[in-house]
């Protein structure tokens, strides 16, 4: 009903479970699929994986706010889902109209990403599995407590979780920089994202906590609904995470701009700023501040972006040093450091 309420959208088919969904996708060739994480016979994750292997198409997951639902949603994003919409209340939400605008907006974005998702998925299934970590990269997952003098800052939105799955696992365990990440995502889901990336990566990945010391060899993801900034303490104490719930910036909390701008105020730190797939221009004004301080800036190329919005804004503002496709970003970060 929500989809049919939009004048330019048409529901071409509905499926009663995951197995039926796979069959309907093959029969009707939809531009976009919306799919519940929890379904009988074949669940949403299994159906998503089968669809991506045989008939890649943009998929938006509809998920519950339970821990199980959050974990499954993050898994679905790594498998190729474009985005997700949390149900307003529980497994069976009779109040889905509360998220009507969100659903319609995300379907429109997904439809524009059809060609990109098809190319990405086809490439990923030609080379199944995640990058193999060599033995030396697995030896140490303890962040360094040496004085921190390098930071990598990553800002991303729609398509970001899958992009992060291709960047963080390719950074070495002995990385001599800290990584700070703002991923636009609702509260609750960022912890699941951090835990999954930590499991797959050589460096430690965690959800950021207020007041904790920032260490090299560790990636910190801003919690949903909290801005992440950096506080400069004494030389002995180093740099600390600052989380707050001050008003959203450009509709976002966390804000990429606020993280970039806070780090731009630090002294004695070499910075690499990275802007990846996402709608809008969050991050561009912060990158301007970083460039004024002599930082290097890297942007994801349009060819691999699910949504070429945030990188486009940064490129057009003239604040980007290098533009590379997603699979080269980790290597380029290491070169810039």
Q: Which residues are catalytic?
A: 157, 184, 282
Q: What is the largest CA-CA distance in the chain?
A: 64
The beta strand positions in the chain, using DSSP E, are 33-36, 59-63, 83-86, 150-156, 178-183, 204-207, 218-221, 227-232, 239-244, 270-275, 296-300, 322-324
Q: Is residue 209 reached through a cis peptide bond, with omega within 30 degrees of 0 on the bond before it?
A: no
CB 170, CB 334: distance < 8 Å? no
In the 8-state DSSP scheme, what is residue 17?
S
Whole-angstrom distance, CA of residue 115 vs CA of residue 276:
18
DSSP 99-118: GHHHHHHHHHHHHHTHHHHH
User: At CA 88, angle to CA 87 and CA 92, rounded to 5?
Assistant: 60
Residue 148 φ/ψ, nearest 5 degrees = -80, 130
Q: How far is CA 187 from CA 19, 86, 264, in A?
A: 31, 11, 26
Whole-angstrom distance, CA of residue 224 vs CA of residue 221:
9
Specify the 3-state DSSP secondary structure of 161. Answer: helix
């Amino acid at each position: 009903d929500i989809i049919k309420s939009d004048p330019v959208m048409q529901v071409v088919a509905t499926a009663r479970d995951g197995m039926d969904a796979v069959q309907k996708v093959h029969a009707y060739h939809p531009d976009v699929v919306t799919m519940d994480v929890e379904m009988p016979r074949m669940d949403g994750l299994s159906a998503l994986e089968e669809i991506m292997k045989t008939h890649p198409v943009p998929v938006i997951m509809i998920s519950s706010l339970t821990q199980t639902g959050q974990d499954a949603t993050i898994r679905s994003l790594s498998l190729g889902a474009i985005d997700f919409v949390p149900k307003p209340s529980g497994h069976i939400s009779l109040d889905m109209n509360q998220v009507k605008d969100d659903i319609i907006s995300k379907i429109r974005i997904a439809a524009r990403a059809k060609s990109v998702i098809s190319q990405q998925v086809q490439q990923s299934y030609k080379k199944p599995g995640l990058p193999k970590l060599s033995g030396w990269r697995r030896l140490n997952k303890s962040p360094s407590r040496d004085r921190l003098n390098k930071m990598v800052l990553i800002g991303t939105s729609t398509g970001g979780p899958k992009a992060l799955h291709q960047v963080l696992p390719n950074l070495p365990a002995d990385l001599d920089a800290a990584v700070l990440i703002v991923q636009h995502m609702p509260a609750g889901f960022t912890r699941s994202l951090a835990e999954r990336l930590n499991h797959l990566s050589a460096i430690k990945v965690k959800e950021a906590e207020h007041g904790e010391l920032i260490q090299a060899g560790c990636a910190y993801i801003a919690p949903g609904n909290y801005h992440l900034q950096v506080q400069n303490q004494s030389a002995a104490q180093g740099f600390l995470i600052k989380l707050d719930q001050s008003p959203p910036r450009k509709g976002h909390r966390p804000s990429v701009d606020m993280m970039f701008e806070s780090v731009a105020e630090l002294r004695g730190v070499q910075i690499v700023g990275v802007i990846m797939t996402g709608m809008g221009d969050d991050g561009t004004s912060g990158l301007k501040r970083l460039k004024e301080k002599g930082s290097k800036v890297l942007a994801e190329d349009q060819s691999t972006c699910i949504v070429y919005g945030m990188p486009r804004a940064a490129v057009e503002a003239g604040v980007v040093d290098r533009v590379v496709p997603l699979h080269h970003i980790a290597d380029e970060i290491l070169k810039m450091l």
